[in-house]
Structure 1
Amino acid sequence: MSKVCFVDDEQNIRRLVAYDLKQAGYDFTLCENGQEAYLKSKTEAFDVYIIDWMMPEMEGISLVKKLRSENNGSIMIMLTAKSEEEDLIDAFEAGVDDYLTKPFSSRELLVRIKAHLSRVQTKPTSTLVYKDLHINLMNRSVTHSDKPIELTKTEFDLLIYFTQNPSTVLSRDQILTKIWGFEYDGDTRIVDVHVFKLRSKLENTPLEIKSVRGIGYLLEISV
């Protein structure tokens, strides 16, 4: 059973989401601020964190940064009333995998949780090798010249999608559908932010993600 940590300072929202998580069969923990959730992370392992941005004691984005700095690879979905591009970029750069704008639909939240978990729970058994770059599909790790490249869950999913389609132009809509799911109706800027971060982490490796103006991206592999 997948374990979810829901973090929001509004009691009514916690109650509503708790009901939906229970109906969907998830094991879950409710926290009213980032500090409480951070302390819980020390004693419990969660598959998914759903985190409100604006909270007392520790804001959601601060919690994400703290968890990611400790190599926490859990799925992290941000809830926010913010919709400016700079705010969303800040969230993704902090390590968020996805976001929902408040007010949000519980059904959409559950769909996104399920979509993210379905990709994580698929466990292939091989390793992709590109010269000195190794991608382990079992433990979802990447190394270059025996040095680890730290990727978030979404960045790893993106990398695998690109390696499955080398030298093929992938549109932003295609990437959005594949990585975030058919029911995701967010802005395609989410694609650009994650690709930018992944591309920077792959610098000086045999894999290069190139922009195709007005369309999307393609992966070139040096041999």
Structure 2
Amino acid sequence: MSHILVVDDDARMRMMLRRGLEFEGHLVLEAETGSEALNLLRTRNILLVILDITMPDLSGLEVLKKVRSSSEHIPVILLTAKDHPDDHVYGLESGADDYITKPFYFDVLLARVRLILKRFQPDTKQELRHADLHLDLQRHQVTRSGRILGLSPLEFRLLQCFMENPERVFTKPMLLDRVWGMDYFGDVNVVEVAISALRQKLEEGGASRLIHTIRGAGYILRED
């Protein structure tokens, strides 16, 4: 699954951005330095980068230059305290898709993120269906047989992972990587707890089971 990469040497800023973006249903990765960001860009599927300029090793502009030298165009939003008009011009001319100055309103940033993702992913599937289950990515809503299910952001991402890959077995480590992110180092049993909570909501009212346990392997989305 694709992630939004947040690059900032301020841990509080990264946490604030991560929480807000995850609440909107996005998967988020964090990088504290430019070097760490470049490594994630090489090894992970990155949908969008939110990039600070002033960092201790490589500056955000240096990272941007390296991103733009690659063949794939990954959208980049510069998020920085540099608010002089010349900084805006230089950032945009260096290849940034947007330039936002700190302090900022999160709703404004979120609107810019939505706009850029829509521009770069015009053909992205907005709805997923499996059996009588319907997941609407745009409305962030799940229904089963027309009944709206009240899923948490984590449960939504977990179900999305299964619905994008029906009939595929996922191990707990695979789900941790795709749904919780590679920087999660907590108890692997959170997967089992989350699956149980998701099943309860999917099977409310006596509905049939769709997420099955494959003993010794993991979990799979399929109809019986």
With the length of structure 2 as denominator, give the TM-score of the two structures.
Answer: 0.53
Aligned to 1:86: 86
Aligned to 1:103: 103
With the length of structure 1 as denominator, give the TM-score of the two structures.
Answer: 0.53
Partner secondary structure for residue 76 of structure 2: strand
Aligned to 2:216: none
Q: Offset of 1:105 from its aligned partner?
A: 1.7
Contact kept? 2:78, 2:98, Cα under 8 Å = yes
- Match of 2:47, as an amino acid? D
Contact kept? 2:48, 2:75, Cα under 8 Å = yes
The RMSD of aligned alpha carbons is 1.6
Aligned to 2:60: 60
Contact kept? 2:2, 2:45, Cα under 8 Å = no
Partner secondary structure for residue 47 of structure 1: strand
Give the distance between the partners of 1:51 and 1:93, measured in 2 at CA: 15
Give the distance between the partners of 1:3 and 1:119, measured in 2 at CA: 16
Q: Offset of 1:108 from its aligned partner?
A: 1.4
Aligned to 1:13: 13
Gaps of 5+ in 2: 125-224
Q: Offset of 1:48 from its aligned partner?
A: 0.4
State the identity as a percent: 35
Q: Offset of 1:123 from its aligned partner?
A: 3.5
Deviations 1:12-53 (A, max 9, x none): 111111111110100110011111000111101211000001
- Match of 1:81, as an amino acid? A
Q: Which has the larger radius of gyration?
A: 2
- Please give the residue correspondences for 1:46-195 in structure 2 after superposition, counting only pairs within 5 Å: 46-123=46-123
Q: Does 1:35 align with 2:18?
A: no
Partner secondary structure for residue 116 of structure 2: helix
Gaps of 5+ in 1: 125-223
Q: Offset of 1:2 from its aligned partner?
A: 4.6
- Match of 1:26, as an amino acid? H
Between Structure 1 and Structure 2, how many residues are aligned?
A: 124
Partner secondary structure for residue 26 of structure 1: coil
